[in-house]
Structure 1
Amino acid sequence: MKHAPLDFSGVQTYPIKERKNKMTVEKDLAAPVTPGMSVSQLLAAMPAQLGAQSLNAVIDAVVVARQKGKPVVVAMGGHVIKCGLQPVLKSLIEADIITAVALNGSGSIHDYEIALIGATSEDVGAVLHAGTFGMAEETGAHINAALKKGVAEGRGHGESIGRAILDNELPYREHSLLATCVAKGIPITVHVAVGTDITHQHPTADGAVIGAASYTDFRTFTSVVSQLGDGGVYLNVGSAVLLPEVFLKALSIAQNLGHHVDHFTTANFDMQQHYRPLQNVVKRPTSGKSHGYTLTGHHEIMIPLLAAGILSKI
């Protein structure tokens, strides 16, 4: 069917001064970037738009939370540890800003290997077909032994490994997030799915011990989450599935037990935004009177910037 070109002569317009705009130079324009700017000046110079606005909002929420004595919880995947961000995170722990840390299993493994040999992250593709991926003797034997000892003494997964790092005086222990948290006395929980971590491949692995250690940490983590209401902050960094699911269940239990968890802030930091963090961290938990933010970017850039912004304002 042929169509004659539509006649636009009857289209109605209106004066631009009547239009509502999302950006104005009075409120949203960035300030000039100049040599020698401080971190605070750089953050203040960012436009009040989108990611910059979210980053500054999260920084402010963390600062206010600690001023009120409310928790700031950081949950992270293993890639954050592999990026070498422990010194940045340690600076926030030692400044009494981060009050609890949650890791998945890979995060604890990378952290332990760094404490042990000052290196981690093998080339999976190069060794997978040889059957040697994840089979380093010390990693499996040491971690599984630490869990067995820790469970017998009533400890959770994270504290068991962190305590082993300290007790055995591992040569690079000053770079360990697990050891830092144990030494500082703040909760460090590790949440595993059996079969996802290389330590589960080893003959020393004990499913009952692994489950007991992680379950103890889930209960501890739920206690931490129960205190987030009225000003706390929860940051999910680089965990696309496991920790967002754990957070949602912990939040449900806390509410079920009568803890009022509302009026708090969540944020998801990742290189790309995934379904579960968006739903289980940013949206669903904040559907009341809380606030959720998404920050997209590389961890090795975003987390030092976040930390610098917090420390410049605290």
Structure 2
Amino acid sequence: MPYKTFDRSRLMIKPISERIHDLHLPQMLVSIDDPVPDFSDPSIAKISAAIVEAKKKKAPVILMMGAHLLRKGMNPLIIDLMKHGFINHIGLNGAGCIHDYELARIGATTESVARYIHEGQFGLWKESGELNDLINEGADQGLGLGEAVGKAIIEREYPFRSTSLLAQAYEMQIPVTVHVSIGSDIIHEHPNCDPQKLGKASYQDFLVFTNTIDHLENGVYLSYGTAIMGPEVYLKALAMARNAAFQEGREIRHFTTAVFDLQDLGEDWHQEIPKNQAAYYFRPYKTILVRTVADGGVSYYVRGDHAVTFPVLYHAIMETSGES
């Protein structure tokens, strides 16, 4: 028998001008001219060297990230790496797309769950929900979610589009793929969320992402603060790509992976640990650092705050390449 569903027409959607924003441009943005943070990890030099080598070999460098890099104000550094050819694919979760869109449109983002969940207003803002319209229009045109939103930000001339990852990548023709989990993002609360078009657009992005993974030989995969979406999407895409490559007599084995996070993984992260240890269930560990590089790849783990480790990596790449 059919189950009853929630009637979204009952919702009260408020204008975003009534929302208290926790993050604002330009105060949150870092600059390429800011001093390099004091942080030392020998893996940084090896990762930056692998990225520079990947560019020379015309192999992809993928940045798979949660929303925290964006919320830490790293967009200018990421955009500059794209301009120099050191990042040629970005993977985001749904939250990353929403933050980037809101920042491009109104120069502010992020609301307090504690402040708004009591009356159920969390996420229910008119302008945020209009992101669904952009996704729906893009899906009708056969566009992936990331491309659709980046295109719209440019065409609608949102005031802060120059610091938008989605917009700048669209103009550089660099794919930004958005990998959503339905029900996990605020725009899924809204009456204009069309799950068929949302799924179609995000699945298109998954296939675009898998195509990049299909060329990962000699490339680099960076995982920044994405503990579930990143490793799971990467794992399935790599399985598909290796399946096709095996039939074609190719290999996708010699590449570099690097995980940046806060988890304490101990001194040696190159071997799987027993299931009775909590770190076993940290997906980037077993998936990105161990299993998928076990037959020819190299992996690194850098533990630290993204606000510190990403600027350090950025400057190491530019110094190693001689383009600083």
Report the counterpart of residue 46 of structure 2 in structure 1. 57
Between structure 1 and structure 2, the one with the greater Rg is 1
Following superposition, the deviation at residue 56 of structure 1 comes to: 1.3
**Structure 2 portions without partners, runs of 5+:** 1-34, 265-278
Tell me the distance in 2 between the aligned counterparts of 1:280 and 1:163: 33
Tell me the distance in 1 between the aligned counterparts of 2:287 and 2:124: 34
Following superposition, the deviation at residue 187 of structure 1 comes to: 1.1
Following superposition, the deviation at residue 271 of structure 1 comes to: 2.2
Matched-pair contact (CA < 8 Å) for 1:226–1:260: no
Matched ranges for 1:111-190 at <5 A: 111-141=100-130, 143-190=131-178
Helix, strand or coil at the partner of 2:177 = strand
Helix, strand or coil at the partner of 1:267 = strand
Structure 1 residue runs of 4 or more that deviate by more than 3 Å after TM superposition: none
Helix, strand or coil at the partner of 1:257 = helix
Matched-pair contact (CA < 8 Å) for 2:177–2:208: yes
Helix, strand or coil at the partner of 2:184 = coil
Offset from partner CA, 1:35-59 (integer Å, 9 cap, x none):
xxx97xx99xx6xxxxx22111111
AA aligned opposite 1:127:
Y
Of 268, 277, 301 in structure 1, the residue corresponding to residue 308 of structure 2 is 301
1:195 aligned to 2:177?
Answer: no
1:310 aligned to 2:317?
Answer: yes
What is the root-mean-square deviation of aligned Cα atoms in Å?
1.5
Matched ranges for 1:103-118 at <5 A: 103-118=92-107
**Structure 1 portions without partners, runs of 5+:** 1-37, 47-51
Following superposition, the deviation at residue 70 of structure 1 comes to: 1.0
Tell me the distance in 2 between the aligned counterparts of 1:97 and 1:182: 16
Tell me the distance in 2 between the aligned counterparts of 1:128 and 1:61: 44
Tell me the distance in 2 between the aligned counterparts of 1:297 and 1:53: 13
AA aligned opposite 1:180:
Q
1:276 aligned to 2:265?
Answer: no
AA aligned opposite 2:229:
L
Task: Among all aligned residue pairs of Structure 1 and Structure 2, give the percentage whose two residues are the same amino acid.
Answer: 40
Following superposition, the deviation at residue 270 of structure 1 comes to: 1.2
Report the counterpart of residue 256 of structure 1 in structure 2. 243
Which TM-score applies when normalising by structure 1?
0.82
Following superposition, the deviation at residue 245 of structure 1 comes to: 0.2
Report the counterpart of residue 195 of structure 2 in structure 1. 207
Matched-pair contact (CA < 8 Å) for 2:44–2:316: no
Helix, strand or coil at the partner of 1:130 = coil
Matched ranges for 1:219-230 at <5 A: 219-229=207-217
Tell me the distance in 2 between the aligned counterparts of 1:279 and 1:104: 21
